[in-house]
Structure 1
Amino acid sequence: MSNVKAIEKIEPREIRRKLGLNQQQFWSKIGVTQSGGSRYESGRNMPKPVRELLRLVHVEQVDIQRIKREDVEVIEYLRAHEPELLKTLRKSAKAKGKKAA
């Protein structure tokens, strides 16, 4: 939850500039037009789904093109029925990611 609050405090324009992207490059990755993104950067209220996509794609660096509904369903199942297994899998994946880096 702290990530969500952090993204609310950070201006999208600031994130975009830190990434070195123009408006078209930045906003198109989350399905927002350049003109719509410009309005958000100018202070227009950003809907929560857009804010969450911005966080996932540009802050967490998630490639949303690779996510499938099946992946989400598996995570939802594990979260509801096997929370300890999900925790173990996350730890293993994180450790493997650090070794590869």
Structure 2
Amino acid sequence: MKNTDTIDVREIRRKLGLNQSQFWSKIGVTQSGGSRYESGRNIPRPVQALLRLVHIEQIDINKVKKEDVEVAEFLKTSNPELYKSLKKEARAKRKERTTR
């Protein structure tokens, strides 16, 4: 994934067909704040991470629970091979859904 500093967030927003208010409110940024980012102001790292998750990875952050993240981290450290295998299967399944 590219660093969001090097990608055009305005272009991402336009490709998604969202106005500034719709796009930025999904990650807790005001329309005026988003406008400043689109005009070249540096985007803070937490905002970059949310931007990537919500608008690039298409993750509904309202559905993500702390326990889900904790389970994934536990699996990743306690059984890295199983974690890699499940990650690979999930990626293939997602790819399969998008090519239909």
Aligning the two structures, in what range does the TM-score lie when normalised by the shorter sequence?
0.7 to 0.9
Taking structure 1 as reference, are residues 66 and 50 closer, same or farther at Cα in structure 2, changes over 3 Å only?
A: same
The corresponding residue for 2:44 is 47
2:14 alignment partner, one of 7, 11, 17: 17
- For 1:60 and 1:47, the matched residues in 2 are separated by 18
CA deviation after TM superposition for structure 1 residue 8, in Å: 2.3
CA deviation after TM superposition for structure 1 residue 35, in Å: 0.8
Equivalent residues of 1:4, 1:52 under 8 A apart: no
* Corresponding residue pairs, total: 98
- For 2:21 and 2:74, the matched residues in 1 are separated by 36
Compute the TM-score of the two structures, normalised by the length of structure 1: 0.87
The corresponding residue for 2:57 is 60
The corresponding residue for 2:83 is 86
Compute the TM-score of the two structures, normalised by the length of structure 2: 0.88
Tell me how large the CA RMSD over aligned residues is.
Answer: 1.4
Return the structure number with greater relative CO, CA threshold 8 A, min gap 6.
1
CA deviation after TM superposition for structure 1 residue 15, in Å: 0.8
- For 1:67 and 1:80, the matched residues in 2 are separated by 20
User: What letter corresponds to residue 50 of structure 1 in structure 2?
Assistant: V
Higher helix proportion: 1
User: What letter corresponds to residue 45 of structure 2 in structure 1?
Assistant: K
CA deviation after TM superposition for structure 1 residue 95, in Å: 3.3
Show CA shifts across 1:3-51 (max 9, x none).
142x321121111011110000000000101111111111111101101
Gaps of 5+ in 1: none
- For 2:95 and 2:43, the matched residues in 1 are separated by 34
